[in-house]
Structure 1
Amino acid sequence: MERAHTERPQGHSPRQIGPYYLITRLDPAGPGFPPAPERRFIARSADGDRTVLVRTPGEGVDPERFLVEADAARRLLGPWVSPVAELSPPSDSPWYASPYLPSLPLPVALAVHGGPLPERTVRAIGTALAETLAGAHATGITHAGLSPAAVLLAGDGPRLTCFGAVRAAAPDGEQRSGLPGLEPGSLAPEQASGGRPRPPGDVYALGAVLAYAATGHTVPDSAELPESLRSLISRCLTRDPAARPTAAEVLHSLPPASTAPASTVLDSSTSLLTPGWLPGRVVAAVARQSAEVLAAELRVPQTHGA
């Protein structure tokens, strides 16, 4: 994988966040990658029993709003969500943790692969994300944080993170365009100008993520997009929220090109997330990360106590 360097999170000791000791940073250091609104680290408990993905606020993100959104993310359910399992106590600097799953951020996966991902992979990412968003929207939840950096690719499918990033970055009514941590191509125009996050904004961001996976850009020229996905992605990225498809409509437009539309949500995702859905280089990088994290286990400081 693109190697990341452990860095000191603001408000924390160099090697520890809450009860967890840092192993490495998940996101790559240096330019050339879309921004992420969170700092994400692979870490382990002092007793060595728990390995987690722990997050702290990114630059410019309000710490209190960050924790409010992390707490709200507990309501976002489904197999393609990186669940919020633990929140920092009030006395600690803000962080939250999810169970560790070997995975690469979508921008790193493109770097490892050497360019845009195959159409099969793009469709698989799209179905998993659309399935999650459709379920959230049906219960009145808006994700408000989807971008390329928010998507992690694991061996068994994508995982969605960064819930509420737009709301955490700025209150409604405040201009969000250009704020640190927010990927400008993933911000729907109505959200960039300060509008309240709503489901059509999630669909816009979904279109940007699919465009990025297919081309390496969140706002590509239409001709760059795969022909079979061009119309769908373009409709997601239209400036008029009312003209965008719903997440459920996107989901039913994304089965493998060689099959008829799936009759159920489950059929749609499982038909794509089968062995071989990820390119070989990405699979190898995920496996290498897993091995490196496992090898780091003995280096985690142990707690000596009563």
Structure 2
Amino acid sequence: MGGVRGPEHEGAPGHIGPYTVITRLDDPASRIPVPEQRFLARSADGDRTVLVGAPLPGTDPGRFAVEAGAARYLLGQWASAPSELSGPGEPPWHARPYLPCLPLPTALAVHGGPLPEPTVRALGAALTEALTINHGQGLTHAGVSPAAVLVAGDGPRLGCFGAARAAAPDGTARSGLPGLEPGSLPPEQAAGGRPRPLGDLYALGAVIAYAATGHTVPERDRLPVALRGIVAACLSR
């Protein structure tokens, strides 16, 4: 089937692989960077709705494809693992069955601000479980950020696996690159270091802070008292 077609998916209809694009998942006006283009799309027979990911314009499609392929092996209830990948010779994309959800930044916008503390705690616990499973598989997520978290009715899903590795190879500074949210990008990854599990914990702390305050790098006194120790432990080096 064809790869990514249409004017950067700005106009509808467009196609990605065998799927007809319905709309973007993310708000283009959001100030929170998103590491990939994400779309809701339908199968040709109209029977299936999927969430499709494709590289950002101007980024390396080969590295995106490598990380999408690795993400298929993610385990756990909270992992947003692709179930379908582009074929040989196609521009890269990945897809998974669509579960009604909102990106975390959109969830905060709909809520009208930071999420309630019990919700933030539940979110943090689920993301911690997801990362624990990843690390037990010998994998570093390297893509934890507010936009990587999709909030569904039964809990979050963690996507954007390998976003830092896809953005630039090890040894190349990643600070300021498209799609990478600076507050949740671990300092060593920003400087070009190899992503490691401790970096995932750093990013987890930034995401918890974001859910609780609307900022990945908030002033300490803006965090709920009960969350300050958790966030500080994640961000410590």
Aligned to 2:3: none
Corresponding letter in the other structure for 1:18: G
Aligned to 1:26: 25
CA deviations on 1:32-68 (whole Å, 9 max, x unpaired) are 4310111000001010121100010024431001010
Give yes or no for the alignment of 1:235 onto 2:233.
Answer: yes
Aligned to 1:36: 34
Aligned to 2:91: 93
Note the C-alpha offset of 1:14: 5.1
Unaligned runs of 5+ in 2: 1-5
- Please give the alpha-carbon distance, in whole angstroms, between the structure 2 residues aligned to 1:158 and 1:169: 24
Bigger relative contact order, structure 1 or 2, given CA contacts below 8 A and separation 6+?
A: 1
Note the C-alpha offset of 1:139: 1.9
Aligned to 1:16: 15
- Please give the alpha-carbon distance, in whole angstroms, between the structure 1 residues aligned to 2:83 and 2:129: 21
Unaligned runs of 5+ in 1: 1-6, 241-306
Distance 1:13 1:213, change over 3 A: closer
Give yes or no for the alignment of 1:225 onto 2:215.
Answer: no
- Please give the alpha-carbon distance, in whole angstroms, between the structure 2 residues aligned to 1:82 and 1:61: 22
Distance 1:14 1:49, change over 3 A: closer
Root-mean-square deviation (CA), in Å?
A: 1.5
- Please give the alpha-carbon distance, in whole angstroms, between the structure 1 residues aligned to 2:125 and 2:15: 36
Aligned to 1:129: 127
Corresponding letter in the other structure for 1:133: L
Aligned to 1:249: none
Say if 1:9 and 1:56, in contact at 8 Å, map to a contact too. Answer: no
Say if 2:144 and 2:200, in contact at 8 Å, map to a contact too. Answer: yes
- Please give the alpha-carbon distance, in whole angstroms, between the structure 2 residues aligned to 1:8 and 1:105: 24
- Please give the alpha-carbon distance, in whole angstroms, between the structure 1 residues aligned to 2:161 and 2:74: 9
Note the C-alpha offset of 1:138: 1.5
Distance 1:29 1:155, change over 3 A: same
Question: Pick from 65, 78, 82: which aligns with 2:76?
Answer: 78
Say if 1:37 and 1:61, in contact at 8 Å, map to a contact too. Answer: no
Identity score, percent = 67
Name the count of aligned residue pairs. Answer: 231
Runs of 4+ in 1 over 6 A off after TM superposition: none
Say if 1:172 and 1:196, in contact at 8 Å, map to a contact too. Answer: yes
Corresponding letter in the other structure for 1:105: P
Say if 2:55 and 2:61, in contact at 8 Å, map to a contact too. Answer: yes
Corresponding letter in the other structure for 1:224: R
Question: Pick from 183, 186, 210: which aligns with 1:185?
Answer: 183
TM-score w.r.t. length of structure 1: 0.73
Aligned to 2:136: 138
- Please give the alpha-carbon distance, in whole angstroms, between the structure 2 residues aligned to 1:181 and 1:174: 16
Superposed, which structure 2 residues align to 1:189-200 within 5 Å? 189-200=187-198
Larger radius of gyration: 1
Superposed, which structure 2 residues align to 1:152-191 within 5 Å? 152-191=150-189
Superposed, which structure 2 residues align to 1:204-283 within 5 Å? 204-238=202-236, 240=237
Note the C-alpha offset of 1:94: 1.1
Tell me the secondary structure at the aligned position of residue 75 of structure 1: coil
Tell me the secondary structure at the aligned position of residue 175 of structure 1: coil
CA deviations on 1:86-138 (whole Å, 9 max, x unpaired) are 10112221110011000000000000000000001101110111001011112
Which deviates further from its counterpart, 13-22 or 66-75?
13-22
Say if 1:34 and 1:107, in contact at 8 Å, map to a contact too. Answer: yes
- Please give the alpha-carbon distance, in whole angstroms, between the structure 1 residues aligned to 2:128 and 2:33: 22
Note the C-alpha offset of 1:9: 2.8
- Please give the alpha-carbon distance, in whole angstroms, between the structure 2 residues aligned to 1:221 and 1:73: 34
Note the C-alpha offset of 1:152: 0.3
Aligned to 2:49: 51
CA deviations on 1:206-250 (whole Å, 9 max, x unpaired) are 001000000000000111111001011012112x2xxxxxxxxxx
Which deviates further from its counterpart, 34-43 or 50-59?
50-59
